[in-house]
Chain A
Amino acid sequence: MIACEQVGFDYGTRAIVAGVSLEVGAGELCAVVGPNGAGKTTLVRILAGLLPAARGRVRVGDLDPATAPRREVARRLAYVPQLYELAFPFTVAEVVLMGRYAHRGGLGLEDDADLAAAHDAMRRCDVDDLEGRRFDTLSGGEQRRALLAQAFCQGAATIILDEPTAALDPAHAHAVMAALRATCADRGAAALVVTHDLNLAARWTDRVIVMARGAVAAAGPATEVLAAPATAAAFGVPLHVGTLPGGAAFVVPA
């Protein structure tokens, strides 16, 4: 669904992303973790085609996202940036329906298919009772769930989220991850989530990719990767990894 090979990007002479290769297939939910400044956001912006890679190849479905028409990319890939600030007082329903842009012409009103997609997405993200609220009056957690609904509403097979749970309390963070997990399982979506929450990554994702200094330091199933010495080295702090009764891993700085 989304793949990249030996991708690199520089700011001036400093390499921000260097030689990263990864692949996320249908039905898979992957996390990208790593310390601040590791190049996580730059990497996902390259994957979304918003930043052209200086080196390497990126594929989203059958397209190169940096050169393909944005409308075609948007039908295959939904990307929710870390910061989302609206300049006008749009409602939640209007924000979610913006996800239908790639499916319609310039001026027309949404049709039944658009509205059905929006309502389905809002229900899955538990924001259907907020549809008439102004987006700018929502709490941080509600805004994040509305943006996830916009991404779902886009109907793309690949979803990239940059820190979708950063502002959320534990219950809503888990709700967002559960909705994402269900979308991967039920609809065969491929999802890539940038997060600082290692426990959330351990609990919900199939694979964890650890980035450090622009490169992949470790990658694989959460339990193995979080216990790997390379991961502790990447974060610069020893990590204690345990196993919960259900089998999921948890991790705390040791």
Chain B
Amino acid sequence: MSGFLATRRAPRLTRGRLIAALGGCLVVAAAVTLLAPLLGVEMTRSGRHFTWIDLSAIGDPDATDHQVFVLARLPRALAAMMVGAALAAAGCAFQALLRNPLAEPFTLGISSGSSLAAVLAIRLGLDGVLGGTGVGVAALFGAAASVTVVWRLGRVGRSLPPATLLLAGVTVAMLCAAASMLVQYTAEFAEVSRMVRWMMGGFEVVRYGTLLRAGVAIGIGLLILLSLARDLNALAAGAEAAASVGVSVGRAQSLVFIAASLLVGASIAIGGPIGFVGLMVPHALRALVGPDHRVLLPASMLAGGALLVLCDTFARLAIAPAQLPVGIVTALLGAPFFLMILVRGKRGAQLWGGG
């Protein structure tokens, strides 16, 4: 782990380093996503035991193991994979665009705006409309609306000063959080418990149809961000320096915001607001694979997905047969881990920026 703190490292990204880093992340992500749904917990008289799905039963539609794997656990793992990838990629892109370590969907108000829309949808009894996807669709619109508001507020003429944008984002986040509380205050008890549960985040009930619809939005968002990898590298030196080497800064900023609202909106629609992945994963990965976004972005997607699958598996098994909300797990596991990296990074060189 100490290698990345050295002042000398591989001078630049080579094909070999790219393949090694992404190959490693891909193997981990695939293994986690396929193995996690096989694991369960069984209650017997002698206590709780781990159980594995019987692989020979998969493919037999009548077998319980097949149904548990295919209908319950696999879509859940795929959902966690997609959402983790989306949140980590959005956080990574925002950190580069704003040159600020705190930038992520939560601090920019996107998650709060999306949550407010979802809470309103529950309050207005829209859960059941649009084939049961009413709350998800509301979350998507909430994300798009708050991105637009924060962006408009943060813009100064043709430029987008990071500090103004972050201030606008944090303020919108507070406003939306207060508005959400107000909605909860006026709601019936049953609605409140559904709202609170939704705001903790989770993947308990995910259908393949939802995965497909959200997957299209997330796929488009991820592709847009990947196409901007070199723009994000140049933007690390600021808008003016990036423009001097040929980046159309305005276009890159617009695309990052469009992609992020797709990613965050779709993520919240599937799993509710899940914190910390967007903040933590890019920081940890930057320390491991370097700051070049051509490797950092795809590695963050794969690692973010794998991390969220692990957290969701923990949430499913830790107090089985009951379940923890995954948002609690990401924060409880994520915060200490992140602080550990931060402290280690402080000792040698800085994790963020200057040395």
Contact = CB atoms under 8 A, between A and B. Distances in A.
Interface of A: 45, 48-50, 69-71, 73-75, 77-81, 84-95, 97-99, 101-102, 104, 106-107, 109-110, 131-134, 136-137, 150, 154
Given A89-B355, A102-B246, 15 more contacts: A86-B353, A88-B353, A89-B349, A91-B9, A91-B12, A94-B292, A95-B237, A101-B245, A107-B226, A107-B294, A109-B14, A132-B11, A133-B7, A137-B7, A137-B355
B244 A136 contact: no
B55 interface: no
Q: Dominant SS at the B interface?
A: loop
B245 A94 contact: no
A106 B227 contact: yes
Nearest to B295: A109
Q: Which of A48, A70, A77, A104 has the most CB of B within 10 A?
A: A70
B236 A79 contact: no
Given A88-B291, A136-B355, A93 B236 contact: no
A106 B228 contact: yes
14 contacts: A50-B240, A70-B246, A70-B248, A75-B246, A79-B244, A87-B99, A89-B349, A97-B12, A104-B230, A106-B227, A106-B228, A109-B14, A132-B8, A132-B10
User: Top 8 closest A-B pairs, CB basis?
Assistant: A74-B246, A102-B246, A88-B291, A87-B99, A93-B11, A132-B11, A79-B244, A71-B246
Interface in B60-113: 96, 99-100
Contact of B11 (A50, A78, A94): A94
A88 B286 contact: yes
Contacts, number: 123
B236 A107 contact: no
A148 to B, nearest CB: 13
Nearest to A79: B244
- Chain B interface size, under 10 / 10 to 19 / 20 to 34 / 35 or more: 35 or more
B187 interface: no
B43 to A, nearest CB: 49
Nearest to A160: B244
Contacts of A110: 12
Contact of B353 (A77, A80, A87, A92): A87
B161 to A, nearest CB: 14
A78 B246 CA distance: 9
A109 B13 contact: yes
B112 to A, nearest CB: 25
Given A98-B237, A133-B7, A107 B229 contact: yes
A110 B204 CA distance: 44
Contacts of A97: 12
Interface in B1-56: 7-15, 18
Contacts of A73: 246
Interface string B223-235: 0001111110110
B246 A101 contact: yes
A145 to B, nearest CB: 16
A48 B11 CA distance: 30
B243 interface: yes
A85 B240 CA distance: 11
A231 to B, nearest CB: 30
A76 B337 CA distance: 47
Nearest to B235: A87
B11 A70 contact: no
B231 A74 contact: no
B336 to A, nearest CB: 24
Contacts of B247: 70, 101
A150 B227 CA distance: 23
B245 A92 contact: no
A179 B33 CA distance: 55
Contacts of B353: 86-89, 136
B243 A106 contact: no
A86 B236 contact: yes
Nearest to B99: A87
Contact of B291 (A48, A89, A132, A133): A89
A238 B193 CA distance: 80
A99 B237 CA distance: 12
